[in-house]
């Protein structure tokens, strides 16, 4: 369909629709046109006419071939952020079975994290994200940061995380799993907790620690308040041989 006819049809549908339908039509138009929502809404209401050509230099990393491969890797990597994708792409590319054109391969290895996030922005709201029951703790600035690219040189450096088994709703009570993994040996202990609160989590952390065949040297977790609290911190630090307590964040890639 010619662009002019398409725009005319979308405008008519948008201007005659209810508020709820307008939201859906606007989202569709943004995906098809590449405009942000504010600019697209002004076009659909007739306040603006679309530009015939984009001002400024030609966009890089914008070909259909490149975006198809980039989106494939993003989906395969469980929709990780641009920073993590930049670190992961050199590892994934040699294992990719499909032949990638040389120019696309070069672009995949050169693209920056911020550009990845911009190129994938249109696709990020097309699939619902998993629900998160983690609430960031206000105490997190007291706990040092350990980036996820740091390597373990010996047993005893463990990573803890919780997962809510809530289905599609966070309402009511549901089970949570606590997983603690030693990064050097991959020794893993799983425990169940009913509520992601400080006391129940600490109780299962104590049980998990007793199931490891070696002592913990360093314990790191995400920034949720089931970990970053006044209960777990003294348990790890106020003992004869303190356990380093750190919180995680994604690796920064320049």
Tell me how long the chain is: 254
Q: What is the pLDDT of residue 253?
A: 41
- Are 190 and 163 in contact by the 8 Å Cβ rule? The answer is no
Q: Determine the average pLDDT of the residues in 160-180.
A: 86
Query: What are the residues facing 164 on neighbouring strands?
Result: 176
3-class secondary structure per residue, the chain: CCHHHHHHHHHHHHHHCCHHHHHHHHHHHHHHHCCCHHHHHHHHCCCCCCCCCCCCCCCCCCCHHHHHHHHHHHHHCCCCCHHHHHHHHHHHHHHCCCCCCHHHHHHHHHCCHHHHHHHCHHHCCCCCCCCCCCCECCCHHHCCEEECCCCCCCCCEEEEEEEECCCCCCCCCCCEEEEEEECCCCCEEEEEECCCCHHHHHHHHHHHHHCCCCCCCEEEECCECCCCCCCHHHHHHCCCCCCEEEEEECCCCC
Indicate whether 251 pLDDT > 90. no
pLDDT in tens, 42-56: 888 888 777 666 666
CA gap 14, 49 in Å, rounded: 15
Architecture of the domain delimited by 140-249: 2-Layer Sandwich (3.30)
pLDDT in tens, 178-221: 999 999 999 999 999 988 889 999 999 999 999 999 999 999 99
Q: What percent of the chain has pLDDT over 70?
A: 85
User: Rounded to two decimals, what is the model's pTM?
Assistant: 0.50
Q: Determine the average pLDDT of the residues in 214-231.
A: 90
**Mean pLDDT, rounded, of the chain:** 84
CA gap 180, 160 in Å, rounded: 4
CA gap 149, 74 in Å, rounded: 19
Instruction: Tell me the CA end-to-end span of the chain in Å, nearest whole number.
Output: 42
Domain spans, the chain? 3-44, 64-123, 140-249
Q: Please choose, from the candidates 186, 157, 155, the residue with its C-alpha nearest in 3D space to the C-alpha of residue 245.
A: 157
């Amino acid at each position: 369909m010619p662009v002019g006819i398409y725009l005319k049809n979308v405008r008519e549908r948008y201007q005659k629709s209810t508020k709820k339908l307008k939201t859906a039509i606007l989202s569709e138009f943004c995906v098809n046109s590449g405009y942000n929502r504010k600019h697209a809404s002004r076009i659909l209401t007739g306040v603006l006419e679309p530009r015939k050509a984009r001002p400024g230099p030609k966009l890089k990393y914008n070909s259909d071939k490149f975006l198809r491969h980039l989106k494939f890797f993003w989906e395969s990597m469980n929709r990780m952020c641009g920073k993590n994708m930049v670190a992961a792409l050199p590892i994934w590319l040699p294992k990719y079975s499909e032949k990638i054109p040389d120019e696309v391969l070069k672009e995949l290895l050169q693209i920056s994290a911020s550009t990845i996030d911009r190129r994938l922005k249109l696709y990020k709201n097309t699939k619902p994200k998993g629900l998160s029951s983690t609430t960031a703790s206000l105490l997190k600035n007291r706990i040092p940061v350990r980036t996820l690219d740091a390597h373990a040189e010996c047993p005893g450096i463990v990573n803890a995380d919780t997962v809510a088994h809530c289905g599609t709703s966070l309402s009511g009570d549901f089970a949570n799993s606590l997983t603690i993994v030693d990064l050097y040996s991959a020794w893993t202990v799983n425990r169940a907790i009913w509520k992601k609160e400080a006391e129940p989590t600490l109780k299962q952390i104590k049980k998990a620690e007793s199931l490891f065949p070696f002592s913990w040297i360093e314990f790191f977790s995400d920034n949720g308040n089931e970990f970053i609290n006044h209960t777990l911190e003294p348990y790890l630090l106020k003992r004869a041989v303190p356990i380093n307590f750190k919180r995680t964040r994604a690796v920064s890639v320049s």
